[in-house]
Structure 1
Amino acid sequence: SPCPYAGGYSHAPDELTYGVDMKHIRWCGILQRIALAYLVVAVIEIATKDARVQDQSSSGFFSIFRMYLSQWIVACCILLIYLSLVYGIYVPDWEFRVRNVDSLNYGKVLTVTCGTRGNLSPPCNAVGYIDRKVLGINHLYQKPAWRRHRDCTDDSPYEGPFKRDAPAWCASPFEPEGLLSSFSAVLSTIIGVHYGHVLVHMKSHMDRLKQWVTMGVALLLLGIILHFSHAIPLNKQLYTLSYICVTAGAAGIVFSMLYFLVWMS
């Protein structure tokens, strides 16, 4: 796919136009999300440096949490803000113009019916609503993963021709690396930095492994429970709490396995 961040792109294979189309440029992306998460966590790490209780001789399970308590308070605040917005914002009906030239509805303005609150479905979630309002609907990703949804195509989970009765939102844009979901992604980075804190402050290999495995298993189980209890389903597009727990927990377990193999070799 064309990369507007490398100086421009050709707007069509057979046209000699070149440059960034500022009316439809996609502002967000995975690299931007990584940069934002690293920036926020780096600022937190620097800002809380003098407030830490520097007790590097302690190897208790909760000693690392106490040492970086301010960071976990920030993480809790981020989580509360994210959940409050996702489940508290009212999402009204909205419209979009179909930009896919291969679509039978090309150029038409379609309406997506929502009028709901706390909905995590593809068309009516608060994550997409915030991106449409702040970034603008023309600056979102035009081919989101939900085009492969079973409501949209008979070839689900593959992207095939849309069903004749496919809802309007199947052709609508959505930003998978948008503002609110990237805000939530900071939590994954904070957990990752915690794994690094364990490596720095705990000198015993066994103490490190106990910390990583315990936290990894706890996060993984919490994410699975949240998903299968239908409290907070796994959803990468929205970067839900269950998704954070499952991915961060699995990462901690895999990291522990690799560490153990290196230690034993």
Structure 2
Amino acid sequence: MDEEAKRREEVININSPAPLNDDGNKDGELKKKITIKISNGDEELDKGTIAKPVAVGESESVHEVKQKTKRVATLDAFRGLTIVLMILVDDAGGAYPGIDHSPWNGCTLADFVMPFFLFIVGVAIALALKRIHKIKDAVKKIILRTMKLFFWGILLQGGYSHAPDDLVYGVNMKFIRWCGILQRIALVYCVVALIETFTTKLRPTTLASGQLSIFTAYKWQWFGGFVAFLIYMITTFTLYVPDWSFVDHFNADEPKKYTVICGMRGHLGPACNAVGYVDRQVWGVNHLYSQPVWRRLKACTFSSPRDGPFRYDAPNWCRAPFEPEGLLSSISAILSGTIGIHYGHVLIHFKGHSERLKQWVSMGFVLLIIAIILHFTDAIPLNKQLYSLSYVFFTAGAAGIIFSGFYILIDIWGLHTPFLFLEWIGMNAMLVFVMAAQGIFAAFVNGWYYENPRNSLVHWIEKHVFVNVWHSERVGTLLYVIFAEITFWGVVAGVLHKLGIYWKL
């Protein structure tokens, strides 16, 4: 194990044979305090900070002397992997439908992105709130960050930004989209973090013996997840969905009104599910996502699984809007954050590598098995658009297994160099998300063109350096995404890391 791994081992693996308090340290003794800020670029371990254990809500009376800090590499690498997957599937998914979002039931590579984000947010919450000693300060920080996430979500995905191809901006408020990726993350973060904050004093100071002690110690977090599960399941299977109408403003020269016949309960198909009905009632049908992935179903287009023109006999709902990050499905998504925060609690309380891995891997496989049974028995199919229970379990289980693998490779075996690329991106995740995944930087470059907007540097590089060289639009597109986007932003993130520059929320 190299020196970097030894130093990280000293920080993360603080062995303590005595009973653990709620911070994972010996009662009555001085401790090495883990301090991790939730925002990108600030998840660090204070290697040399010495302080008495202080519960949330109590004042801190011991002077702290901060020394060199070390980041949690596994968190950064996992977050970086998620950002890379997002760029890959968003920009290469059109050329390779197999990695794009599943049109309805099923789970593809793209369908792992959102739950992976929520999982790592949960892990970070468990660690980050340990350093905030007053409930009032913690709540203020949580609410402020939630508002920032909502703001950026609406700005980037609400319709105001038309990046990267359209060199215009602005949104008709009649059609503004209120939901999106960052808005869902904001909701899950707010709920999970507030439960974590307000239940600090309700937790036992020591973990009891037994495999389930970690679950009972954080029963209020699981209770919150269970309430979200009940709300989602009861609404999904009991809410009556009547017939509904919409006006198609985007798929024809002239707006045209369509009606979808429903009049049923518990339907899990595209047309008459409760998830869509709740969003139509809360947000209004004009404020939902106008290009849902179900347009690629065989019932809608002969080009399936690719996007294409509608069939002449396509049902009316094929043209309808649908919100993949809607209200009811976001309530279900709280479970993803709850499972993530459990992994963070394990990291805090169990100091041995084998103990942590035993908890993480066993839970990951249990979740995967339950999900597979639910899906293949047709009880509850995997469905990202509905954020079904089987989808939550399957993606959370996969996240847990991958997170454990990263932990073994990086924090146990000390293989940091192969994952520096992902760590750099993970440390500046917000920057790469906005500039690369949302196409803001590409839009800026496209704004400088010669005679025609297609004659810009971005389009020239994609066409002449990649597509024409390989004589294949599919291969050229994939290589462009890998090298001109992912690799480029990985290098930029690495340079910014060396300069100590991070985009924080």
> Scaled by the length of structure 1, what TM-score is found?
0.92
RMSD: 2.1
Cα displacement (A) at 1:261: 1.7
Fraction of identical pairs, as percent: 57
- Which of 43, 50, 53 is residue 204 of structure 2 equivalent to? 53
Residues 40-93 of structure 1, C-alpha deviations (whole Å, 9 max, x = no match): 10000001111001215x563211101101111121111011100000000011
Mapped to 1, the partners of 2:154 and 2:219 lie a distance apart of 41
3-state SS in 2 of match to 1:243: helix
Deviates more, 1:255-264 or 1:203-212: 255-264
Match of 1:228 in 2: 376
When residues 4 and 220 of structure 1 are mapped into structure 2, their CA distance, relative to the original with a 3 A threshold, is closer
1:80 and 2:226 correspond: no
Distance 1:203 1:181 in 2: 35
Aligned residues of 1:53 and 1:66 also touching (Cα < 8 A):
no
2:194 to 22, 39, 43: 43
Deviation string 1:124-180 (CA, Å, 9 cap, x unpaired) is 000000000110011000000001011001111111111110000000000000000
| Equivalent residue runs for 1:1-265 within 5 Å | 5=155, 8=160, 19-56=170-207, 60-100=210-250, 102-103=251-252, 106-262=254-410, 263-265=412-414
Structure having greater relative contact order (Cα 8 Å, sep ≥ 6): 2
Q: For the residues of structure 2 that align with 1:93 and 1:146, how far apart are their CA atoms?
A: 19
List gaps (5 residues or longer) in structure 2: 1-152, 415-505
Change (3 A) 1:135 1:52: same
More displaced stretch, 254-263 vs 26-35? 254-263
Q: 1:95 Cα deviation (Å)?
A: 0.4
Normalised to the residue count of structure 2, the TM-score between the two structures is: 0.49
Does the CA contact (< 8 Å) of 2:244 and 2:260 recur in 1?
yes
**Greater CA radius of gyration, 1 or 2?**
2
1: distance between equivalents of 2:332 and 2:154?
Answer: 26
| TM superposition shift of 1:103 | 2.6
Q: 1:20-54 deviations in whole A, cap 9, x for unaligned?
A: 32111000001100011001100000011110012
Matches of 2:209 and 2:190, distance apart in 1? 29
Q: What displacement does 1:184 show?
A: 0.7
Q: Which residue identity lines up with residue 23 of structure 1 in the other structure?
A: K
1:246, distance to aligned residue in structure 2 (A) = 0.3
Shift of 1:264: 2.4
Q: Is the 8 A contact 1:130 1:179 kept in 2?
A: yes
- Cα separation, 1, equivalents of 2:187 and 2:154: 19
User: How far apart, CA to CA, are the structure 1 residues paired with 2:375 and 2:386?
Assistant: 14
How many residue pairs end up in the alignment? Answer: 258
**Do the aligned partners of residues 59 and 196 (structure 1) sit closer, same or farther apart at CA in structure 2, a change above 3 Å counting?**
farther
2: distance between equivalents of 1:107 and 1:85? 32
Structure 1 residue ranges without an equivalent (≥5): none
CA distance in 2, matches of 1:154, 1:19: 34
1:20 corresponds to which letter in structure 2? V
